Amino acid sequence: MHSQKLRLDRSRHAAPQVFEHLREQIVSLELAPGAPLSRVTLAEAYGLSQTPIRDALMKLAEEALVEIYPQHTTVVSRIDIAAARQAHFLRRSLELEIAHILAQRPDPLLIQRLQASIERQRVSHASGQSQQFMDADQAFHRDMHEAAGMIGLWHMAQRYSGHLDRLRRLHLPEAGKAERIMDDHQRVLDAIAAQDAPRAQQALREHLSGTLSQVAEICKRYPDYVLAE
C-alpha cells in the first residue's frame, strides 16, 4: 500500500481524492486483484477518519473494482471479462463516431496535440516508464473526445472502463504491444489529418480490438487475476 503518497488538497472533499488515488492504484495493478483493503489501515495511511474511506470504497464498489463484505473485509475485485467486453463495446461505438466527426473537419491544433501524445509515448516507452506511457495513451483518446465536443461521454465511459483498463495493463508488457499502440495511434492521426474518415475508423477499430483478441492467453497467464466468462 502506497497511500502515503497522496497529498490531500484541503480545498476539496477527502473522499473523492481517496477514491481517485485508490482507483489509479487498482487500474495500474499496483493494488492487485484480491488485495485486501482495510478501512482502519487506509484511514491511518491517509490521516483521515474512516468515513471518507468508507465513502471512497463504496464508490469503487459501484464501479465493481472492489468487493465489500460487510463486517468482514474489502478486497480488490478480479478482472471481469464480461464487463471488459461491455466497456470495449461502449468505447468502440463512441470513438468510431468521434473519428468520423474529426476527419470531416480536421483541426491543426488537435493534430499537434495528438502528435505530442504519441511523442510522449515514444519517450516514456524508451525509458521504461509504463505509467507515463499509459497516461499519454489516455491523453490521445481524451483529446479526441474533447475536440469532438464529447468530453462528457469520455467521463461516462471512464466509469465503466476499470476492468478493461486493467486487462490492457496486463497485455501491455507483451513484446511489441507498445509499438503497435503507437503505430495505431499514428495511423488514426494520419487518417484524420488526411480527412479520410473510413480509414480513420478502420485504424481505430483495429487499434481497439488488440487486447480483447488476446483474452484467452491473458486468462491463461494470469488465472488468479481474472474472472472468466
Per-residue model confidence as pLDDT tens digits over 155-209: 999 999 999 999 999 988 888 889 999 999 999 999 999 999 999 999 999 999 8
Query: What is the span of the domain harbouring residue 137?
Result: 81-222
One domain, residues 61 and 86 = no
pLDDT value of residue 5: 54
Residue 5 falls within a domain, yes or no? no
Per the domain annotation, does 3 fall within a domain? no
Considering the domain architecture, whether residues 113 and 195 belong to the same structural domain is answered as yes
Do 89 and 155 sit in the same domain of this protein? Answer: yes
* Angle in degrees, 0-180, between the axes of helices 14-27 and 50-62, rounded to the nearest 10: 50
Residues 98 and 40 in one domain: no
Examine the domain organization and report whether 98 and 201 are in the same domain.
Answer: yes
Q: Please report, for the domain that includes residue 61, its CATH number.
A: 1.10.10.10
66 and 85: one domain?
no
Q: Is residue 228 part of a domain?
A: no
- The domain that holds 209 is classified in CATH as 1.20.120.530
71: Cβ–Cβ under 8 A, 6 or more apart, which residues?
none
* Residue 86: pLDDT over 50: yes
* pLDDT one-digit tens code per residue, 106-141: 899 999 999 999 999 999 999 999 889 999 999 999
**Per residue, what are the HEC states of 26-80?**
HHCCCCCCCCECCHHHHHHHHCCCHHHHHHHHHHHHHCCCEEEECCCEEEECCEE
pLDDT at residue 1 in the model: 47
Look at residue 229 and tell me whether its pLDDT is greater than 80: no
pLDDT at 2 > cutoff 50: no
Three-class SS state of 176: coil
Residues 98 and 54 in one domain: no
Pair (91, 171) in one structural domain: yes
Bridge partners of 76, per DSSP, are 66
pLDDT of 228 reads 75
> Is residue 93 located within the same domain as residue 197?
yes
**Domain stops at, among 54, 76, 98:** 76
* Number of structural domains in the chain: 2
Q: Which amino acid is at 29?
A: L
Question: Within 13 Å, how many C-alpha atoms sit on residue 158's CB side?
Answer: 15
C-alpha dihedral sign at 149, 152, 155, 157: negative
Q: Which residues pair with 79 in a beta bridge?
A: 226
Domain boundary among 76, 109, 127: 76
Which residue has 480527412 as its cell numbers? 195
Q: Do 88 and 119 belong together in one domain?
A: yes
Please report whether residue 229 resides in a domain: no
The pLDDT tens digits of the residues spanning 28-57 come to 999 999 999 999 999 999 999 999 999 999
143 in the same domain as 53: no
Domain limit, last residue, from 58, 76, 94: 76
- Quick one: pLDDT at residue 95? 97
User: Is residue 8 assigned to a domain?
Assistant: no
pLDDT at 3: 43
d(CA 60, CA 53): 11
Q: With H, G, I as helix, E, B as strand and everything else as coil, classify residue 227.
A: strand
Lowest mean pLDDT among 4-8, 143-147, 217-221: 4-8
- Same domain, yes or no: 145 and 192: yes
Residues 84 and 97: their CA atoms lie apart, in Å, by 20
